């Protein structure tokens, strides 16, 4: 929009719009002085809406939302894709890599108020090994049979059921016949029922109970809990160097994701955390009188005293207050690396997780399977020690040979 400064009235100001009157978008100019609408010769990039604000990212293997807020859903999707998201002052949603929007100017010492620049090397959420807890993996197709007893209508399977099972029944010496299957507590009028995550199939109350000569056959895909681990070996080596070679270089984190039902989905979540947090970030704060910066922009920063030479930093926050004279004082926070959550967000996330209840501890038993990204080879090299005792004794003599009772006489 172009206009003259206040208090003069708007003269010749215009606002560019896009109006889709047919298959060809038309560029429109709206003259405010006379409210006259004129069709321009062509539509500019800005008038056509510009580049899309939601970038194309990786395919999310698995995503489930049960009455979660839009913000929580965007947080989860962005985390899996290693993206950031925001809704700007114009109510436009931006989703993509840091730096979709470039700042209007680059920052140097001359743009900052004297003594206001501070650089902190930190990443409170740093990790180079990421465990994902609570995820599930699926078995190969399982085929199990059960024998009736004339009483039982519920049959237990070896695994919890992940997908819709196939249920067949053989009466006596007859052939297996497929039965209708529904979701327990939801469907009605089916022969058999199942529920996701349960290792039981049960018969409709109106059905005929299976006798000892009858056989139930269930074909299904089961599920079981796993723990996956994703690592960044390069960062582990760098961290070990920062530790002066003392230690392992491991910085670990464990995050629970109960909604993930596949191994691939768990690995994607783990990789997303590693991609985002396995880096030591820098946090720059400064004050300036120059306006035009906004959260979400990528700002070029040159501060030789702090080792910043044209570094591209992500503007995390901008606040402004009037100095009481002629200027607005803008307080800018720009980061290099992952976005650091505020303390309010941090404790909010902890509260959202809820308490962790430990109802049982199993050591060395069948339960959660640990799926590791690394592979290793174990070798065994057996050794043995033999001690040989040699006894020398005369042969051609009247003495005993090697302590024997009979002497040898030459």
Tokens of 125: 């959420």
* Angle between helical axes of 263-277 and 70-81 (0-180°, round to 10): 80
Please tell me the distance from the alpha carbon of residue 391 to that of residue 368, in angstroms, as a whole number. 61
pLDDT above 90 as % of the chain: 40
Its sign, for the CA torsion 164, 169, 175, 179, is negative
Tokens of 401: 């040979």
Residue 122 has pLDDT above 90, yes or no: no
Please tell me the distance from the alpha carbon of residue 308 to that of residue 209, in angstroms, as a whole number. 77
- Give the pairing type, strands 101-102 and 93-96: unpaired
Alpha-carbon Rg for the chain in angstroms: 36
Q: What is the pLDDT of residues 155-182, one digit of tens each?
A: 999 999 999 999 999 999 999 999 999 9
Amino acid 46: pLDDT:
41
Tokens of 349: 């996330």
More confident site: 212 or 343: 212
Please tell me the distance from the alpha carbon of residue 239 to that of residue 248, in angstroms, as a whole number. 8
389 Cβ contact list (under 8 Å, min separation 6):
none
Please tell me the distance from the alpha carbon of residue 48 to that of residue 19, in angstroms, as a whole number. 9
Residue 366 has pLDDT above 50, yes or no: no
Query: Of 77-91, 181-195, 315-329, 382-396, which one has max mean pLDDT?
Result: 181-195
Please tell me the distance from the alpha carbon of residue 382 to that of residue 1, in angstroms, as a whole number. 83
79 Cβ contact list (under 8 Å, min separation 6):
269, 272, 273, 276
Amino acid 331: pLDDT:
95
Residue 358 has pLDDT above 80, yes or no: no
Q: What is the pLDDT of residues 217-269, one digit of tens each?
A: 999 999 999 999 999 999 999 999 988 888 899 999 998 887 788 899 899 88
Residue 127 has pLDDT above 50, yes or no: yes
pLDDT band of residue 213 (cuts 50, 70, 90) is: very high
pLDDT band of residue 64 (cuts 50, 70, 90) is: confident
Please tell me the distance from the alpha carbon of residue 217 to that of residue 153, in angstroms, as a whole number. 14
201 Cβ contact list (under 8 Å, min separation 6):
154, 155, 157, 161, 165, 167, 192, 193, 194, 216, 218
51 Cβ contact list (under 8 Å, min separation 6):
none
Q: Which residue stretches of 125-220 are H helix?
A: none
- Give the pairing type, strands 328-336 and 308-322: antiparallel
- Identify whether the C-beta of residue 86 lies closer than 8 Å to the C-beta of residue 94: yes
User: What values do phi and psi take at 390, rounded to 5?
Assistant: -105, 125
Amino acid 405: pLDDT:
56
Sheet (strand 36-39) strand order: 14-19, 26-31, 36-39
What is the chain's mean pLDDT, rounded? 77
Amino acid 86: pLDDT:
83
Please tell me the distance from the alpha carbon of residue 302 to that of residue 286, in angstroms, as a whole number. 13
Tokens of 226: 């796993």
Amino acid 374: pLDDT:
46
Please tell me the distance from the alpha carbon of residue 161 to that of residue 169, in angstroms, as a whole number. 18
Q: What is the mean pLDDT of residues 323-335?
A: 87
Among 145, 103, 59, 89, which Cα is nearest to 312's?
103
**Cα dist from 154 to 148, 170, 181, 205, whole Å:** 10, 16, 14, 10
What burial class does residue 392 get, using C-beta atoms within 10 Å of its C-beta: 0-12 exposed, 13-18 middle, 19+ buried? exposed
């Amino acid at each position: 929009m172009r206009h003259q400064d206040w208090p003069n009235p708007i003269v010749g100001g215009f606002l560019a719009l896009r109006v889709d009157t047919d298959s060809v978008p038309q560029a429109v100019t709206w003259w405010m002085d006379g409210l006259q609408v004129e069709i321009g010769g062509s539509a500019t990039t800005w008038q056509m809406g510009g580049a899309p604000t939601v970038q194309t990212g990786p395919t999310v293997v698995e995503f489930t939302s049960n009455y979660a807020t839009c913000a929580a859903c965007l947080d989860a999707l962005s985390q899996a894709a290693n993206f950031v998201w925001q809704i700007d002052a114009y109510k436009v949603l931006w989703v993509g890599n840091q730096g979709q929007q470039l700042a209007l100017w680059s920052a140097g010492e001359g743009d900052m108020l004297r003594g206001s620049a501070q650089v902190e090397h930190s990443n409170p959420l740093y990790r180079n090994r990421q465990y994902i807890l609570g995820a599930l993996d699926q078995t190969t197709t399982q085929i199990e049979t059960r024998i009736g007893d004339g009483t039982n209508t519920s049959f237990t399977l070896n695994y919890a059921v992940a997908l819709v099972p196939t249920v067949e029944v053989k009466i006596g010496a007859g052939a297996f016949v497929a039965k209708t299957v529904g979701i327990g507590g939801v469907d009605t009028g089916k022969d058999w029922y199942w529920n996701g995550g349960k290792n039981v199939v049960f018969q409709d109350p109106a059905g005929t109970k299976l006798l000892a000569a009858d056989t139930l056959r269930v074909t299904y895909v089961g599920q079981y809990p796993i723990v996956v681990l994703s690592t960044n070996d390069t960062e582990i080596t760098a961290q070990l160097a920062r530790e002066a070679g003392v230690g392992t270089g491991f910085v670990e984190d464990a995050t629970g994701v109960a909604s993930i039902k596949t191994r691939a989905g768990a690995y994607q979540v783990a990789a997303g955390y590693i991609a985002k947090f396995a880096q030591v970030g820098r946090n720059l704060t400064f004050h300036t009188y120059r306006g035009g910066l906004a959260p979400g922009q990528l700002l070029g920063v040159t501060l030789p005293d702090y080792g910043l030479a044209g570094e591209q930093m992500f503007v995390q926050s901008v606040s402004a207050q009037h100095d009481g004279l002629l200027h607005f004082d803008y307080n800018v926070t720009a980061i290099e690396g992952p976005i650091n959550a505020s303390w309010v967000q941090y404790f909010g996330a902890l509260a959202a997780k809820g308490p962790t209840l430990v109802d049982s501890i199993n050591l060395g038993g069948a339960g959660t399977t640990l799926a590791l990204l690394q592979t290793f080879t174990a070798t065994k090299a057996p050794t043995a020690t033999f001690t040989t005792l040699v006894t020398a004794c005369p042969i051609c003599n009247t003495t005993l040979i090697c302590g024997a009772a009979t002497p040898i006489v030459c």
